Amino acid sequence: MVRPNLPGAADAGTTLALYMGRQALDAAADALLVAGRSPGTPVLAVENAGRPNVRAVEARLGDLRPLDALADSDAPVVFLIGEVVAQARLAEASGDRVLNVSAA
């Protein structure tokens, strides 16, 4: 796993994207939490982005169990970590189509 700049990555205003990160997510989450990132930080996993069979699952950095819904697959997945995930949901709820994926 590539070691991120943890002080920068721990900043609540930073958004991280972890591409093809199935194997590295747990270690990255642990490192971010140790570096001071909040356990409540939103995490969005998008599997098969850009494909008709896209799946999206939300979790929190301190509780990744909801992402177990994607465990039955080895399809490509990108993890977005940061408050931008919550902001995208707020924009979608207000009628903007910022996040155009269907949750699993």
In this predicted model, what pLDDT tens digit does every residue of 46-80 receive, in sequence order? 889 888 888 888 899 999 999 898 888 889 999 99
The pLDDT value given to residue 6: 63
Cα 47 from Cα 74, distance rounded (Å): 9
Report the predicted TM-score, pTM, of the whole model to 2 decimal places. Answer: 0.78
Burial of residue 42 (CB within 10 Å: 0-12, 13-18, 19+) is: buried
Domains of the chain: 6-93 (3.30.950.10)
The pLDDT value given to residue 87: 75
User: Are residues 32 and 25 in contact, defined by beta-carbon separation less than 8 angstroms?
Assistant: no
Tens-place pLDDT, residues 1-51: 455 566 677 788 888 898 888 888 898 899 899 889 999 999 999 889 888
Does the pLDDT at position 92 exceed 70?
Answer: no
